[in-house]
Structure 1
Amino acid sequence: MRTHLEFRAPRFVGGANGINPDIDGSKLAVFLAEEFGTLEFPTSVIEEDWGWMVLLKEEPFRLWLGCSSYDAPDGWLVFRACQ
């Protein structure tokens, strides 16, 4: 099973990270959190040194998505992890 998605989209450019200014992606993380919110999944966005974590607060386990700039000015990487 694939655990990551790489894509290009200029609409998410411009969300620099306060911890690591070379990383972009906050606009992508907020977009994903808002979309999951419309599906009634409680979410939160957490800034990390590698990008942003979109935490999906759902039981019995927690799933989160990592969002980060990748490979090009409008390139993005989204990956998943479970806790």
Structure 2
Amino acid sequence: MENNNYFAEMMKSPMPREKEKTVMSEFIDNFLKDILYKKEKALLMDKIDHSLDNDDRSTFMTLSGELKQLEKGYHTS
């Protein structure tokens, strides 16, 4: 019986559920973006380390530019 009352109350006010979905969706989007950023950054850092180990200045400069762009894009979004 208690579940029926809860369902009836939720059906009376659909807006809070929609807001909850929006907040949850935004949280999930931000969480996934953060994971993707960290993964891409880690891969770039590994490549940068490898280029330094091999004294490959041109690759280092290219990858450093990509890292700056990645960080700039992450911090502006």
The two structures have a TM-score, normalised by structure 1, of: 0.28
Greater relative CO (CA pairs within 8 A, separation 6+) = 1
Query: Could you tell me the TM-score, scaled by structure 2's length?
Result: 0.30
Higher Cα Rg, which structure = 2
Higher strand proportion: 1
Say which structure is richer in helix. Answer: 2
